[in-house]
Structure 1
């Protein structure tokens, strides 16, 4: 499994698409956070990163599918998945190796953004005037959100040989999971379905963690969400063997 993980990670790191995607993510988030007047922290005047954490999920909807779209789609298009499947590896080991490689790249994309936190700490009046607990909770929420979107992306890549289709499907499913259930909850407002749709929304659990409170219910939700899509991917991959 480690060999597949290493091969997949180095394949991503050797891909120009990965660097372009991460570069665009850092450029857009930096411009929105520091330069554009409507979203700039300097214009806002408060030592917090709420703007960054509310913006990043929507950037993730495009960043992560661009990273995961080649996971299985490229292997199937080039016919190399047959060689991979013939190795003494289970479907779960192959899926987890590819998934963890994508998640590692997402982690690499988030690490440079810690500079934003350091800058706010230094610019605060007095210095360090920022809620570190809320920032830590938000970063953990972003990692779990990225992990959830990565599971969607890996699933989308397993259902088609076309990377563009895999990208589009992953973006659509990520948007539905993050914002779609919230919208359905508003449609069914004041009914029992409102609570169900709100609970199903990733946004609800992400916002809960962004307050700096790590609730086990949110952790269980994200883990269950990830396992659900990886499990569906296992069914798709296993079914194609026959």
Structure 2
């Protein structure tokens, strides 16, 4: 057994930390005790199930299985991000497209150039990081654009009445939304390694890789996440603009979530 990896007994022992959380929630009368317990149990079951699935993928399916698994992740991510923007037309489809393009473009370039090995056990975890970050960025863009379309409707319609096309009338809100969505990615990149050791680097160090070797992989991952976030944000914003305006450049009604 690898001494660096906790045993199942160690995992069971760590469950005491969940009890600490439950006690804090109970003592403060937050009404979340049951939610914490359900979330902890659900997380454990999901991770065990995913571990079993990944074991099968690594041993039997090869790269096609990895691509299929990533596609499934993109679909799920699109559903999650789309739910964050209920009321925005075609939110789920837009989110799925944004996450898919951001993931395929960045991961595809690194695989094609040989920067990342074309192996199932590499493609799935690295691709999963990209999908997760692109999902969060797409969700931020869609939810912010929904609110902009609702709260800034008079200003947008005033620009349309002056003869501006839909894209120009919506441009100030487009730019502010992209800035809002990308600031977290930029900030996390700026302080990487200073506040916390990121996931890829931490995993490699725990696996016994030299820190100076681990940072090379982490730098590649951080740059990939930046590009994926930017592409996902841009695609989500552009597709949302098309969904928000009709052929006559009129702003559609945005339903209250």
- TM-score, length basis structure 2: 0.35
